[in-house]
Amino acid sequence: MLYEAHFGLRRRPFATTADGKFWYPATSHQQALTRLLQGLENDEEVLLLTGTPGTGKTALARFLMDKLSPGTIALFLSDCRFRTRLELYQTLAHELGLEWERTPEQELKLRCIDAIDESARAGRRTIVVADEAQHLPSDLLEEWRLIGNLQGPHGKLVRTILVGWPILLQALRQDVVVGLDQRVVTRTVLEPLGRDEAIDFLVHHVRLAGGQPSRLFTDEALAMLAQASGGLPRRLAQLGHRALMVAHAAETQRVDAEVAHEAITSLPWDVELPKHSDPTEPDREPPDPDEPQDGDVFVFEVGSKEPAPATPRRNRVG
């Protein structure tokens, strides 16, 4: 336990890996979940979930799997960096609980199909979630189309949800996989969280861990962390975790603006630092723009004896 006891928490509030049990229902995420569940209910063959890295695609996919009806066989392929069809069917076989080592590709494929068909005859449908699907080469995307074509006694045997970065959309536009692209009806996109939802994300996770958000974070600290995250759930979780670590190391019971600032600057992101007030500094009059200030950089122009202040650069992390 890093800091849980120090802050009176039951567990660590900000997980570093995606976990559907602690999914935050942001507006974009809830809409995507609803559309995907409706698409599965309508027996669509292939569904698509895209979003930039860190928007919470994996967490949403895992939460969706927990929402599937009892009896559904849900297979989660966590990383689709397959180089060959053999590797693809080895992974499917492993997820289905089949023997896959030292088995030729065609035999392995037939074993997978037989297992899925047997489940379908028993009234159990199979849903495959392929995460990081942007890594699939065109020939394996075409293989997904063929898998989706498998027919059982009561319709299609497999429903597939392709999850990946926006470049997956470009891959599906290739002529060689146009057949797969034409089968995708439900296409959902995850957007970054707005400021209010980003703050609520942090509050939500503190509460799930048994903490009182107002006792752990000041409002200013929450706003700073939300702005620095760019609305990405992954970054929010990393920032929240880091802020609590900094506060614990400083032996303080609360994350304030100073702690939040240190947490933000300690992470290797190129982000604009949120502005915050320093209560230890006295109030000052706004500087005269015509008067030189501390920290100004002066540049002498050719033919001039007087320096001109250069345009100040924004302070950035990195």
**Three-state SS letters, the chain:** CCCHHHHCCCCCCCCCCCCHHHCCCCHHHHHHHHHHHHHHHCCCCEEEEECCCCCCHHHHHHHHHHHCCCCCEEEEECCCCCCCHHHHHHHHHHHCCCCCCCCCHHHHHHHHHHHHHHHHHCCCCEEEEECCHHHCCHHHHHHHHHHHCCEECCEECEEEEEEECCHHHHHHCCHHHHHHHHHEEEEEECCCCCHHHHHHHHHHHHHHCCCCHHHHECHHHHHHHHHHHCCCHHHHHHHHHHHHHHHHHCCCCCECHHHHHHHHHCCCCCCECCCCCCCCCCCCCCCCCCCCCCCCCEEECCCCCCEEECCCCCCECC
Residue 70 within any structural domain of the chain: yes
- Where is the domain boundary, 250, 265, 280? 265
Q: What is the pLDDT of residue 273?
A: 55
pTM: 0.82
Please indicate, yes or no, whether residues 230 and 175 belong to a single structural domain of this protein: no
Q: What is the pLDDT of residue 308?
A: 42
Please indicate, yes or no, whether residues 252 and 232 belong to a single structural domain of this protein: yes
Please indicate, yes or no, whether residues 174 and 99 belong to a single structural domain of this protein: yes
Please indicate, yes or no, whether residues 159 and 210 belong to a single structural domain of this protein: no
Question: Residue 214 maps to which CATH number?
Answer: 1.10.8.60
Residue 137 within any structural domain of the chain: yes
Please indicate, yes or no, whether residues 135 and 237 belong to a single structural domain of this protein: no
Residue 274 within any structural domain of the chain: no
Please indicate, yes or no, whether residues 152 and 216 belong to a single structural domain of this protein: no
Contact between residue 156 and residue 104 where contact means Cβ atoms under 8 Å apart:
no
Please indicate, yes or no, whether residues 51 and 175 belong to a single structural domain of this protein: yes
Please indicate, yes or no, whether residues 176 and 200 belong to a single structural domain of this protein: no
Residue 251 within any structural domain of the chain: yes
Closest CA relative to residue 228, chosen from 190, 189, 206, 259: 259
Q: What is the pLDDT of residue 274?
A: 53
Question: Residue 144 maps to which CATH number?
Answer: 3.40.50.300
**For residue 159, which phi and psi values (nearest 5 degrees)?**
-110, 135
C-beta atoms surrounding 214 within 10 Å: 12
Structural domain of 50: 27-189
Residue 278 within any structural domain of the chain: no
- Where is the domain boundary, 123, 158, 189? 189
Please indicate, yes or no, whether residues 40 and 181 belong to a single structural domain of this protein: yes
Residue 20 within any structural domain of the chain: no
**For residue 258, which phi and psi values (nearest 5 degrees)?**
-65, -45
- Where is the domain boundary, 189, 215, 237? 189
pLDDT per position as a tens digit, 205-253: 999 999 999 999 999 999 999 999 999 999 999 999 999 999 999 999 9
Residue 36 within any structural domain of the chain: yes
Please indicate, yes or no, whether residues 77 and 126 belong to a single structural domain of this protein: yes
Please indicate, yes or no, whether residues 244 and 217 belong to a single structural domain of this protein: yes
Residue 106 within any structural domain of the chain: yes
Residues of the chain under the 70 pLDDT cut? 1, 270-318
77's CB contacts (< 8 A; 6+ apart) are 91, 92, 95, 128, 129, 130, 131
Spatial distance between the Cα atoms of 128 and 254, rounded to a whole number of angstroms = 43
Q: What is the pLDDT of residue 309?
A: 41
Q: What is the pLDDT of residue 31?
A: 97
Please indicate, yes or no, whether residues 173 and 200 belong to a single structural domain of this protein: no
